[in-house]
Amino acid sequence: MAARSRWSRSRPAWAPGTALPWRPWTAPSGERWPAAWPSTGPRRAGAARSASGWSASPWRSSTTSSAELKGVTFDFWGTLFKWRGSTMEIRKEAVRRFVARHRAELPAEVVDQAFQAGLDRGTAAWKESRHFGPEAIIEHLLAELRLEAPAEAREELRALLEDPDPESTLEPVEGVAEAVAGLSARGLRLGIVCDSGMMVGRVLRGRLQRSGLGSYFEPSALAFSDEVGVTKPRPEIFLKALDALAVRPADAAHIGDLHFTDMAGAKALGMRAVRFKGFNDDDSEGPEGDAVIDSYRDLPAALGLA
């Protein structure tokens, strides 16, 4: 399966054979890090917790090899949670209704074309490691379709683009709940590094908490591209999470599904990179992970914890 755009899940976000949008990043000399590194141990609210019923032996093996690993970051979509294509159809219908209120004479196909052009601009920005949020989509629609809309109408559309199905719940990838519980039980600090697309960090935080997995992650170590201002593989978004975890890249691992964002960014920083292909088997160009797994039962070995 090809890499999927955080904007349009129906088309590849990267075409094999084309140049990569990233360049290897090397930390400048004198990079500021905390002078003293805290010992590995739970830092979540509530301190240490059990693995919530997870008793598979890989997580209970000797901790000798885990001394070097202090933190783990996860990608969001395709790694922690499954994505659903139906939300894009809801967004498309919301755009049609918005336009109809202000220029009813425009055919639906013209509106759809303008919306798709905005999605394409979002994908292009993503490839250049720039965030392109719902506000940018709305500005594109206003200019493309020559619309004038009051602030309250634009705010209503922004809310629908950010969260088109607010009553729905996230579906975790198979085995990930047990995996994060197992990592947390070992005292590893957990964060998230996410290219948020249209569903912004504020919305994703709420969904994460409702999923039941939120308590395993450091609240300050949730790095979303709409808040950081850049997307993966730029180092800033990874460092946002790692700084909050007080963990150096060399002592951290990143789990993700895409070569040119997750693997490229993590490896450029010196993190251990693990590509999870159990939901989306990315076949686009880019660096391969230090380990590749298709089941979270293989994660302990991939992280050197087995």
Structural domain for 112, as ranges = 86-162
50, part of any domain:
no
What are φ and ψ of residue 4, in 5° steps? -110, 135
Least confident range of 1-15, 27-41, 161-175: 27-41
- The answer to whether residues 153 and 213 belong to one domain is no
Which of 28-32, 95-99, 188-192 ranks highest by mean pLDDT? 188-192
Which range has the worst mean pLDDT, 7-21, 63-77, 88-102, 169-183? 7-21
pLDDT of residue 85: 66
Greater confidence, 280 or 158?
280
Q: What is the pLDDT at residue 302?
A: 97
Q: Determine contact, residues 210/169, Cβ cutoff 8 Å.
A: yes
Contact between 49 and 128 (Cβ < 8 Å): no
In a 13 Å sphere around the CA of 37, the CA atoms on its Cβ side amount to 21
pLDDT digits (tens, 9 = 90+) for 101-117: 888 899 999 999 998 88
Q: Are residues 68 and 217 in the same domain?
A: yes
Model confidence at 86, pLDDT cuts 50, 70, 90, reads: low
Q: What is the pLDDT of residue 5?
A: 44
46-62: per-residue pLDDT in tens? 333 323 232 333 433 33
pLDDT-derived band of residue 74, with 50, 70 and 90 as boundaries? very high
Which range, of 35-39, 190-194, 272-276, averages the lowest pLDDT?
A: 35-39
d(CA 205, CA 19): 33
Please check whether residues 155 and 298 belong to one and the same domain.
no
User: Which segments within the chain are labelled E, that is strand?
Assistant: 71-74, 189-194, 222-224, 252-256, 272-276, 291-293
Out of 130, 162, 194, pick the residue that ends a domain: 162
Same domain, 70 and 155: no
pLDDT, one tens digit per residue, over 138-170 is 888 988 998 888 888 888 888 888 888 888 889
* Per-residue model confidence (pLDDT) at position 184: 97
Residue 8 lies in a domain: no
The CATH number assigned to the domain holding 233 equals: 3.40.50.1000
Residues 148, 289 within the same domain: no
Count of domains forming the chain: 2
pLDDT band for position 294 (cuts 50, 70, 90): very high
Could you tell me if 257 and 279 are in contact, meaning their C-beta atoms sit under 8 angstroms apart? yes
Q: Does residue 51 fall inside a structural domain?
A: no
- 5-14, 178-187, 220-229 — which is least confidently predicted? 5-14
pLDDT at 187 over 80: yes
Percent pLDDT > 70 in the chain is 77
- Calculate mean pLDDT across residues 16-39: 32
Q: Give the three-class secondary structure for 182.
A: helix
Strand ranges (DSSP E) for 141-290? Answer: 189-194, 222-224, 252-256, 272-276
Give the model confidence (pLDDT) of 164-181 as tens digits.
888 888 999 999 999 999
Largest Cα–Cα separation, the chain: 69
Q: Are residues 200 and 295 in the same domain?
A: yes
119 and 193 share a domain? no
